Structure 1
Amino acid sequence: MTTLTFDLDAGREHIELNQLLKLAGLCGSGGMGKQLVASGAVSVDGAVELRKTAKIRAGQVVTFEGVTVQVRAAP
């Protein structure tokens, strides 16, 4: 399993799930990210997440196809 770290921009409290998938390089666009979430292929903190624009905050872990993305606050 591959683990990536995603740092939220300074002053930002969350990122939408579909945008996180795009910015982490797991899909080509936010629209594709929405399709992946809707298909049930994405988990947040170990549970399948079906809300395409779910707010992902620092400390949460997103998993998709063997890739884990750990979200953290900007250093």
Structure 2
Amino acid sequence: MHQIKLREDYIKLGQALKAAGLVGSGVDAKNEILDGYVKVNGNVELQRGKKLYDGDMVEYKGEQIKIIK
């Protein structure tokens, strides 16, 4: 499981995927999100700019990202 420590109040979904090293670029993140491959807290998320806060969980291709404060 990957963990991303927040520097501010939130991080956007596309940025979180890049920060965890699961995608190579913002364009890759956008495409994977729009294709329905990314879940936030168990639900498919189609917004690249979705704000993630402390405690949120992201799932992508068997990998998990936990957002921590």
Could you say which TM-score interval applies, normalised by the shorter chain? over 0.9
1:72 maps to 68
**Residue of structure 2 aligned with 1:14, choices 6, 10, 15:** 10
Post-superposition Cα deviations, 1:37-66, rounded to whole Å, max 9, x if no partner, equal 000000000000001110011110000000
Superposition CA RMSD, Å:
0.6
- 1:47 pairs with 26, 40, 43, which one? 43
Structure 1 consecutive aligned stretches of length 4 or more whose deviation exceeds 6 Å = none
Identity of aligned residues (%): 35
Structure 1: runs of 5 or more not aligned = none
Report the number of matched residues: 69
Unaligned runs of 5+ in 2: none
Q: Which segment drifts farther, 26-35 or 38-47?
A: 26-35
**TM-score w.r.t. length of structure 1:** 0.88
